[in-house]
C-alpha cells in the first residue's frame, strides 16, 4: 500500500516550518492583523473559522487548517471567531489546558464549550454584530445544515451570513492541496468488491426514490470505491467527491492522483474520473426530474449551492455510512488478526520501557512515541499510525488529548503513571488502544482511580442489551463506578472505528444524550471503543481503552440481544490497580481477559517478550 507515508504523521506538517527561519513566520497577532485588514477591505464585521474542509473532515489536510494558522491552537476540534476588536476560540474540555497554553499572548480568548454560562459561538456572534453587518465563512468549509442554522440566527439580528473565504485569501504562503497518490485496498483485505458495494448503495438509492447521490465525506468515498490515499494525516483517505447515478459513477479528484492503470480498473466498474473542481458544474447540469440524495451535515454549503432549483433534494444520511460501520464476518476476522499483531507490538514496547527505566536510562515521552511506532512498523500489514500517539506521564496524562512535543514533554521517573493512547493503520483494520503503566511506587489515590476506570470498562464490556439500543443508553454503565466516587469525565465513552479507515467513524457513538442528538442503534459488526477515564489536573490521568465489536447474543421472548466482543489484545497493568476494590465477577472478567491475551499473543512472541507477557497476564492473587 503506497502513499500513506505522505500523511503518516502530523509531525510531518508541524515540524516543516522549523526548516525556515522563525523570523519569516508571522506571529499569531500578525496573522490576525492581516485577516482583519482583509475583513475591513471586504466590509465584513466578523469571520468564522471552523475546523473543517470541503468534506467536513475531523482531521484536515494542511491546506484547510486555517483555524490553526490564525489561532496557533493545534487541537483537533474548535471554532475561531474573529471580529474587528476581539476574537474567541471555542473548544471542549479535552483541550482546555492545551488551548490556554497555546493561546497565551495571542489576543484570542478561550471560550470553554459546554460549560454553564459560557456562550456558544453563535450566541456570541449574535451579541457582537448588528443590523446590516456581514459575517463571513468559507462556504466550502461549513456544512449546509450548520450554515442554515447560523444564517437564521444572524438574520434574527438583522445581520447577513456570506460565503467568503477571507481567511484563505489572507493566509500568506498557504500550503497547496494534498497531492499524494491513490491506490486500491488490496484483496483479500478489502473483502468486498467495488461492484458489490456500488450495487448495495444503488439499492438504497432506489428505496429512497433518488436518481442521483452525492458523497463528499472522504471515508464514505474511500469505502465505496475501494480506494485508499494519504491526503489526511493518519487517515488513509483522499480528497474527492463522488456522484452516483443508477448506472454510472463520477469520481472528482485532483489530476495525477490516480494513474492510468487504476483509472482503467475503475472504468471497468463504471467509475469515471473527472477533475476535482468539476463537481459543482456536474451538479448544476443535473436534469429536470432528478432527485438527489445527500446528507446536509456531510456536504458543504458551497457544494450544495450548485444544485439547481429544479432538482428535488432528498436529505438523508449517506447509506454507505451505516454499511461500512457494520463489518462483515470476513472483515472481523482480519481485525482479530490485526489486533494480534498490534498487541505483539504493544507488549514489546511495554517490556522495553519497563526494562529501560529499571536500568536507569533517561526515557522521555517522545522516546515512547518513537519506540512504539518502530515496534508497530515491524508487524505485517502495518501502514502507519491511526492518530498522533498520546504518551502522557503523570500530570500530562490528565490532558485527554495531550501530545508531547520537543518544546513541551516530560522525562519519566522511576515512580508514577504513564498513559499511552495509540493506534495503527493496518491493511486488515484500524486499532486504538489506551493503557496506563505503573512504575515503582504508586499512591492509594492513583490505584483507586485506575481501578474505578477498570470497573467502568468491565461493566460496559460485559453488557448484554436489546437490539436497537443506542450508545447513549449504554454510556452510564461505564460511568456508574466512577460516579459512585463523585467523579466524572468530560468526553464520550466510545466512538466508532473504521476498517483501515478513519479511527473515528460514525454513525454510532457511546456518549451521554444531548439535546437534538440522534440516537443511533448499535448493530452487529459495529466496532466501538470503550474508554472511560479520570483526569486530575496537575496530578495524573487515567484512561483504559479497548475496541469491541457488537455481536449477536441470542434471542427469545423479548427479542434479539447483542453483546460486546473485546477485540483489543494487550495486558492491563495490575500493578496500577487495587484488587480489593474489584468484585469477584470483575476479577473473573479480568483474569479471563488476560488468559485470552496470553493465548492469542504468545505465539507471536519469544524470549524476554514472552516472559514479560506471562508475568503481566498472570491471574490476580487470591484474596
Q: Distance from CA of residue 290 to its chain's centroid?
A: 34
Q: Which segments in the chain show pLDDT lower than 70?
A: 1-23, 115-119, 515-517
What pLDDT is stored for residue 273 in this prediction? 97
**CA 24 centroid distance within chain:** 32
* Residue 111 shares a structural domain with residue 249: no
**CB neighbour list of residue 116: distance below 8 Å, 6 or more residues apart:** none
Handedness of CA 215, 216, 221, 223 (dihedral sign): negative
Does residue 244 contact residue 197 with C-beta atoms inside 8 Å?
no
Alpha carbon distance 82, 75 (integer Å): 18
Report yes or no: 172 and 37 within 8 Å, Cβ to Cβ: no
Q: Which residue has the cell 497577532?
A: 29
Which H, E and C letters describe 514-564, residue by residue? Answer: CCCCCCCECCCCEEEEECCEEEECCCEEEECEEEEEEEEEEEECCEEEEEE
CB 543 within 8 A of CB 434: yes
Query: What does each C-alpha distance from 189 to 226, 337, 411 come to in angstroms?
Result: 11, 11, 40
Any idea what the CATH number is for the domain that residue 455 is in? 3.90.230.10
Which has the closest alpha carbon to 55: 319, 297, 307, 228? 297
Q: What pLDDT is recorded for position 76?
A: 84
Name which of 477, 569, 568, 589 is nearest 522 in CA terms. Answer: 477
pTM: 0.90
Please say whether the dihedral angle defined by the alpha carbons of residues 164, 165, 169 and 172, taken in this order, is positive or negative.
positive
The confidence score (pLDDT) of residue 119 equals 59
| C-alpha torsion 148→153→157→162, nearest 10 | -30
In 229-346, where do the E strands start and end? 240-244, 249-253, 271-275, 291-294, 312-315
Same domain, 318 and 452: no
Query: Measured on CA atoms in the order 3, 6, 11, 14, is the torsion positive or negative?
Result: negative
Residue with C-alpha cell 483517505? 237
CATH (domain of 308)? 3.40.350.10
| The pLDDT of residue 48 | 95
Choose one of 309, 324, 339: the last residue of a domain.
Answer: 324
Residues making up the chain, counted from first to last: 623
468: left (phi over 0), alpha (psi -120 to 50) or beta: left
Q: Is the dihedral of CA 446, 452, 454, 457 positive or negative?
A: negative
Bridge-based pairing of strands 312-315 and 291-294 is parallel
CA angle 333, 336, 338 (to 5 degrees): 110
Whether 304 is in a domain gets the answer yes
CA 323/CA 123 separation, integer angstroms: 37
Helix (H, G, I), strand (E, B) or coil at 88: strand
Q: What is the pLDDT of residues 409-451, one digit of tens each?
A: 999 988 999 999 999 999 999 999 999 999 999 999 999 999 9
Alpha-carbon gap, residue 509 to 491, rounded angstroms: 11
Q: Are residues 398 and 524 in the same domain?
A: yes
> Rounded to whole angstroms, how far apart are CA atoms 469 and 526?
13
| Contacts of 125 by beta carbon, 8 Å cutoff, 6+ apart | 46, 48, 81, 135, 150, 153, 154
* d(C-alpha 335, C-alpha 176), whole Å: 35
Question: What three-state secondary structure class fits 507?
Answer: strand
Q: Please give the residue range of the domain that contains residue 114.
A: 27-170
- Residue 5 pLDDT: 37
Count up the domains in the chain and report the number.
3
Do 123 and 33 sit in the same domain of this protein? yes
Q: Over the stretch 474-502, which tens digit does the pLDDT of each residue have?
A: 999 999 999 999 999 989 999 999 999 99
Residue 177 lies in a domain: no
Rounded to an integer, what distance in angstroms lies between the CA atom of residue 219 and that of residue 222?
5
Cis before 507? omega within 30 = yes
338 and 393 in a single domain? The answer is yes
From CA 426, how far away is CA 236, in angstroms rounded?
Answer: 10
Q: Where are the strands (E) in 344-472, listed by range? A: 382-385, 390-393, 416-422, 424-426, 429-430, 433-439, 464-466
Residue at which a domain ends, from 262, 295, 324: 324
Residue 98: per-residue pLDDT:
85
Statement to judge: residues 223 and 135 lie in one domain: no
- Cα pseudo-dihedral 548, 55, 174, 128, rounded to 10: -100
Distance (Å, rounded) from C-alpha 109 to C-alpha 120? Answer: 13
User: What gap in Å lies between CA 128 and CA 120, rounded to an integer?
Assistant: 13
In a domain, 16, yes or no: no
Whether residues 144 and 88 share a domain: the answer is yes
pLDDT at 94: 79
pLDDT at 479: 98
On whether both 149 and 275 belong to a single domain, the answer is no
- Verify that 319 and 423 share a domain, yes or no: no
- Residue 2 falls within a domain, yes or no? no
Nearest residue to 239 (alpha-carbon basis) of 261, 212, 221: 221
Count Cβ atoms below 10 Å from residue 149 Cβ, excluding itself. Answer: 13
- Residue 274 backbone zone (phi > 0: left; psi -120 to 50: alpha; other: beta): beta
- Domain boundary among the residues 297, 324, 351 is at 324
Do 138 and 195 sit in the same domain of this protein? Answer: no
Show the cell assigned to 468. Answer: 436497537
3-state helix, strand, coil in the chain (%, to 5): 40, 25, 40
All cell numbers assigned to 490: 468530560
Indicate whether 49 belongs to any domain. yes
CA dihedral 375, 378, 384, 385 (to 10 degrees): -20
CA distance 243 to 56: 17
* Preceding peptide of 188 cis, ω within 30°: yes
Question: 414 and 276, same structural domain?
Answer: no
CA of residue 191 relative to chain centroid, distance: 24
Residues 396 and 303 in one domain: no
- Determine the pLDDT at residue 14: 39
Please tell me whether residue 404 adopts helix, strand or coil conformation: coil
Amino acid at each position: 500500500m503506497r502513499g500513506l507515508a505522505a500523511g503518516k504523521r502530523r509531525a510531518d506538517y508541524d515540524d516543516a516550518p522549523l526548516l525556515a527561519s522563525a523570523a519569516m513566520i508571522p506571529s499569531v497577532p500578525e496573522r490576525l492583523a492581516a485577516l482583519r485588514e482583509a475583513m475591513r477591505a471586504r466590509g465584513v464585521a466578523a469571520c468564522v473559522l471552523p475546523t473543517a474542509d470541503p468534506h467536513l473532515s475531523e482531521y484536515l489536510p494542511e491546506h484547510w487548517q486555517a483555524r490553526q494558522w490564525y489561532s496557533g491552537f493545534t487541537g483537533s476540534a474548535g471554532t475561531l471567531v474573529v471580529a474587528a476588536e476581539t476574537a474567541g476560540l471555542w473548544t471542549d474540555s479535552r483541550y482546555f489546558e492545551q488551548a490556554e497554553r497555546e493561546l497565551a499572548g495571542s489576543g484570542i480568548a478561550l471560550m470553554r464549550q459546554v460549560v454553564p454560562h459560557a456562550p456558544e459561538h453563535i450566541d456570541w456572534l449574535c451579541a457582537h454584530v448588528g443590523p446590516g453587518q456581514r459575517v463571513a465563512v468559507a462556504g466550502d468549509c461549513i456544512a449546509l445544515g450548520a450554515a442554515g442554522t447560523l444564517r437564521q440566527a444572524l438574520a434574527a439580528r438583522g445581520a447577513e451570513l456570506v460565503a467568503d473565504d477571507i481567511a484563505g485569501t489572507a493566509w500568506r504562503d498557504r500550503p497547496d492541496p494534498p497531492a499524494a497518490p491513490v491506490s486500491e485496498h488490496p484483496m483479500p483485505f478489502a473483502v468486498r468488491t467495488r461492484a458489490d458495494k456500488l450495487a448495495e448503495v444503488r439499492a438504497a438509492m432506489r428505496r429512497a426514490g433518488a436518481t442521483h447521490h452525492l458523497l463528499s465525506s472522504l471515508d464514505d468515498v474511500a469505502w465505496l470505491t475501494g480506494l485508499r490515499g494519504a491526503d489526511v494525516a493518519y487517515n488513509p483517505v483522499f480528497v474527492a467527491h463522488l456522484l452516483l447515478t443508477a448506472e454510472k459513477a463520477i469520481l472528482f479528484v485532483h489530476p495525477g492522483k490516480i494513474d492510468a492503470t487504476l483509472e482503467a480498473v475503475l472504468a471497468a466498474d463504471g467509475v469515471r474520473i473527472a477533475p476535482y473542481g468539476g463537481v459543482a458544474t456536474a451538479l448544476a447540469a443535473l436534469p429536470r426530474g432528478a432527485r438527489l440524495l445527500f446528507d446536509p451535515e456531510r456536504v458543504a454549503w458551497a457544494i450544495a449551492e450548485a444544485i439547481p432549483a429544479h432538482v428535488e433534494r432528498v436529505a438523508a444520511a449517506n447509506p454507505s455510512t451505516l454499511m461500512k460501520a457494520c463489518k462483515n464476518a470476513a472483515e472481523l476476522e482480519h481485525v482479530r488478526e490485526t489486533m494480534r499483531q498490534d498487541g505483539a507490538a504493544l507488549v514489546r514496547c511495554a517490556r522495553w520501557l519497563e526494562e529501560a527505566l529499571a536500568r536507569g536510562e533517561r526515557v522521555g515521552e517522545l522516546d515512547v512515541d518513537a519506540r512504539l511506532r518502530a515496534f508497530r512498523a515491524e508487524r505485517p500489514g502495518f501502514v502507519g499510525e491511526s492518530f498522533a500517539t498520546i504518551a502522557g506521564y503523570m500530570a500530562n496524562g490528565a490532558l485527554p488529548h495531550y501530545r508531547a512535543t520537543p518544546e513541551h514533554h516530560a522525562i519519566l521517573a522511576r515512580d508514577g503513571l504513564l498513559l499511552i493512547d495509540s493506534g495503527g493503520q493496518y491493511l486488515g483494520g484500524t486499532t486504538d488502544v489506551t493503557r496506563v503503566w505503573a512504575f515503582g511506587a504508586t499512591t492509594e489515590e492513583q490505584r483507586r482511580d485506575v481501578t474505578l476506570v477498570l470497573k467502568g470498562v468491565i461493566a460496559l464490556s460485559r453488557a448484554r442489551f436489546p437490539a436497537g439500543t443506542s450508545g447513549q443508553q449504554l454510556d452510564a454503565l461505564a460511568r456508574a463506578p466512577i460516579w459512585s466516587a463523585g467523579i466524572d469525565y468530560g468526553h464520550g465513552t466510545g466512538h466508532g472505528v473504521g476498517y483501515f479507515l478513519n479511527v473515528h467513524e460514525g454513525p454510532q457513538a457511546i456518549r451521554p444524550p444531548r439535546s437534538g442528538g440522534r440516537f443511533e442503534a448499535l448493530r452487529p459488526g459495529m466496532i466501538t471503543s470503550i474508554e472511560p477515564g479520570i483526569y486530575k489536573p496537575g496530578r495524573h490521568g487515567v484512561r483504559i481503552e479497548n475496541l469491541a465489536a457488537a455481536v449477536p447474543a441470542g434471542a427469545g421472548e423479548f427479542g434479539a440481544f447483542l453483546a460486546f466482543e473485546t477485540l483489543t489484545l494487550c495486558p492491563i497493568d495490575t500493578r496500577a490497580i487495587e484488587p480489593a476494590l474489584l468484585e469477584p465477577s470483575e476479577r473473573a472478567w479480568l483474569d479471563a481477559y488476560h488468559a485470552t491475551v496470553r493465548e492469542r499473543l504468545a505465539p507471536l512472541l519469544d524470549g524476554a517478550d514472552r516472559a514479560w507477557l506471562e508475568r503481566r497476564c498472570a491471574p490476580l492473587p487470591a484474596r
